[in-house]
Chain A
Amino acid sequence: MDEFDVVIVGAGPAGATAAYLCANAGLSVVVIERGQQPGSKNVSGGLIYAQIYDEIFPNFWKDAPVERTITGHSVVFLGDTAATALDYRAEASAPHYNAFSVLRAKFDPWLAAQAEAAGAMVMPGFTVDELIVENGRVCGVKAGGDELRAQVVVVAEGTRSQLLKQAGLREAYSPKDVSIGIKEIIQLPEQTITDRFQCLSADEGAAYTLVGHTGGVQGGGFIYSNRDTLSLGVVAKIDSVYKSKKQPHEILDEFKSHPFVARLIHGGEVVEYSAQTVHRGGFHLIPQLYGDGYVVAGSAARLLLNNVMTLRGMDVAVASAAAAAKAVIEASGKGDFSAAGLASYEEYFKATSVYKDMQTFKNVYPLLENDRLFSTYPDMVCAIMEDMFSVQLQPGKKGYRALRDRMKDHDVSLLNLAKDVYQIGRGVAL
């Protein structure tokens, strides 16, 4: 009864995917989930990039509770009251589509059900208190007074993962590598959302990434359209929030008060508020992913990717879990669950597109600590736009003149601007 091949901690995208793949390969799998049902404990933004899911759950969108197909992506710079947007719109590409908005409270139970159908046992409502470690080897978990032994433990407990740290298997994380996500779900009529986000039908939606107007803290906002709700939030560096002396909800309220955001949420009712720490992710923070008797995947392993335009966690979780599952299945074939037996996880993960993307965008991170990006430039960009679009009684100016004048207003030297352009270039463009 208490001997399994695989015990998985957490039934989010990483845990459920690992469970599905391991159970499909004939291993005995139990997944332990803290929430009363999968999805009830997370504070996820809610955008999934479809292709990685599609490889594992073909055509999942036909069956899974996805909200809208994302056909519009915008990057919006919020000035004091103005906004300047880079707006990309495209027809919904044929399958596999690019991205979907999801509400995890609906989506995760579906994923967990796929794992159950494959033969995994999903146990919601139980918290894993600690790993059982004997002679430096993980050989099971303790949960609610019971011990559950396993050949291998998959740690997929999400962003606040403490199990490996408790067991002395990893270092404590540094606060500077942690952000806080503050999020609301705002209810609006389906048709209102369709119209407001300029979509043709309720199957289509848009995703906005917003920079600026986060009360001076280093962070960005997001707005995703779901079927009859919006997921809206701010992700901000936790040390920056601390320094600002602001409460998380104050930062969110300030963000919501910006006219650009206020127009989108006007008349909506807040039906959910939540906040949670979230890793900043990044290539330089990829930890050791395996050891004797365990592997770690998804947010529990700090695997996230932020490139200013997109913030990816859920597809990174699935890709890492799939690589981990492959290694676990092989280890089972060899009968060797030691670190050496599980080492192929790293090779498989390094072969994923996700890993390569993390590598590609590894220079984004210094950019995310550049205060000018969050407080000065959004405002400056809007001021330049104002110059370009306003017809006044004084003679107008050409773009470069407007830029130089506004730089003076905002105390930005040419040298700083050049440095920042270089940084932006290295991070996301070149």
Chain B
Amino acid sequence: MKIVACIKYSLDASEVKVDAASKELKMAGVPYKVGVIDKHVLEMAVSLQEAYGGTVHAITVGPVSAKESFREALAMGLEEVVLIENPLEGQVAPDVTAVVLAEAIQKLGDVDLVVCGEVSDDGFTYQVPPRLAEALNMPLISFARTAAIENGRLVADRDLEDSVQTVSVPLPALISVVEESNTPRRPTLLEAMKAKKKPVNIWNVETDLGLSAADLQQKAALEKVSAEGVVVHRKRQILKGDDLNALSNELVDLLLADHILEGGA
């Protein structure tokens, strides 16, 4: 079993502040880190490797400066991290990511299973797993809570919010996982020390993957017009009175009228 985990060096969204006056997002100085969802991706990949043998390789597209940020990921039990130098300025566009990842996965060769997160911590486009499955011509099981290999097929429970769907597909396949799928392990000190010797291999889109950086830059179809915080106008209604029962009734009526509560009196 050769398993590839696709992970992302993401903006730490919890650190993004909104400028009170202009509603612009303050991006300056916001730190990056391997995303929260990505820890679940790695946990899924490593636990499948532990159950069925083989190796786990993580692939990511990002800045070369992120190299040291993958130490904890390596300590979770990977062979290597392949860091593909981002061919674009700034954020990677999902359509470009998918093309680059697909090329890299083909270069690794004989991959049985690709594990992605359902959505990145910072971009929230949900696009990479389906685009990547398309590019690799692999079946995709999205939003998976569980995964197992049975008789050479991938079997997984999909989280459909109001129900759970169990599906199976032939390997090689791609699976995207949700945060609820597992609890990521915390590497021990000795595992982390061993991981210091594991490689973060840096690949270039042109020299290692034979893609044209210029074409990829052209391909980045998304044009950012603006990104602003949402303003929520509060109603600021204050109910006054001495009769608590009357006040509660008044409150419930207001909530019913606004469809915040549903039901008859």
**Residues of chain A whose beta carbon lies under 8 Å from any beta carbon of chain B:** 1-2, 30, 32, 121, 123, 125-126, 143-146, 148
Interface pair B72/A1, CB less than 8 Å apart = no
| CA gap between A107 and B17 in the complex, in Å | 24
| CA gap between A60 and B196 in the complex, in Å | 27
| CA gap between A121 and B72 in the complex, in Å | 15
- B251 interfacial contact with A, CB 8 Å: no
- B213 interfacial contact with A, CB 8 Å: no
Residues of the B chain whose Cβ atoms lie less than 8 Å from the Cβ of A126? 189, 192
Interface pair A32/B189, CB less than 8 Å apart = yes
| CA gap between A121 and B194 in the complex, in Å | 11
| CA gap between A121 and B71 in the complex, in Å | 13
Rounded to whole Å, the gap between the CB of A388 and the closest CB of chain B is: 45
Contact partner, A143, options B72, B186, B189, B196, Cβ 8 Å: B189
The number of inter-chain residue pairs (CB within 8 angstroms) is 26
Residues of the B chain whose Cβ atoms lie less than 8 Å from the Cβ of A123? 189, 192-193
- B265 interfacial contact with A, CB 8 Å: no
Which residue of the partner chain B has the closest CB to A145? B188
Interface pair A146/B72, CB less than 8 Å apart = no
- B190 interfacial contact with A, CB 8 Å: yes
Closest 3 CB pairs of A and B: A146-B189, A146-B190, A126-B189
Residues of the B chain whose Cβ atoms lie less than 8 Å from the Cβ of A144? 186, 188-189
Which residue of the partner chain A has the closest CB to B186? A144
Which residue of the partner chain A has the closest CB to B194? A1
Interface pair A30/B72, CB less than 8 Å apart = no
Interface pair B72/A125, CB less than 8 Å apart = yes
Residues of the A chain whose Cβ atoms lie less than 8 Å from the Cβ of B193? 1, 30, 121, 123
Rounded to whole Å, the gap between the CB of B219 and the closest CB of chain A is: 35
Interface pair A148/B196, CB less than 8 Å apart = no
Interface pair B196/A146, CB less than 8 Å apart = no
Rounded to whole Å, the gap between the CB of A36 and the closest CB of chain B is: 9
| CA gap between A341 and B188 in the complex, in Å | 33
Rounded to whole Å, the gap between the CB of B179 and the closest CB of chain A is: 20
| CA gap between A1 and B72 in the complex, in Å | 18
| CA gap between A134 and B72 in the complex, in Å | 32
| CA gap between A340 and B12 in the complex, in Å | 50
Which residue of the partner chain A has the closest CB to B196? A121
Rounded to whole Å, the gap between the CB of B104 and the closest CB of chain A is: 28
| CA gap between A146 and B186 in the complex, in Å | 13
> Please, could you name 16 A-B residue pairs with CB atoms under 8 Å apart, sorted by A?
A1-B190, A1-B193, A2-B190, A121-B193, A121-B196, A123-B193, A125-B72, A125-B192, A126-B189, A126-B192, A143-B189, A144-B188, A145-B188, A146-B189, A146-B190, A148-B190
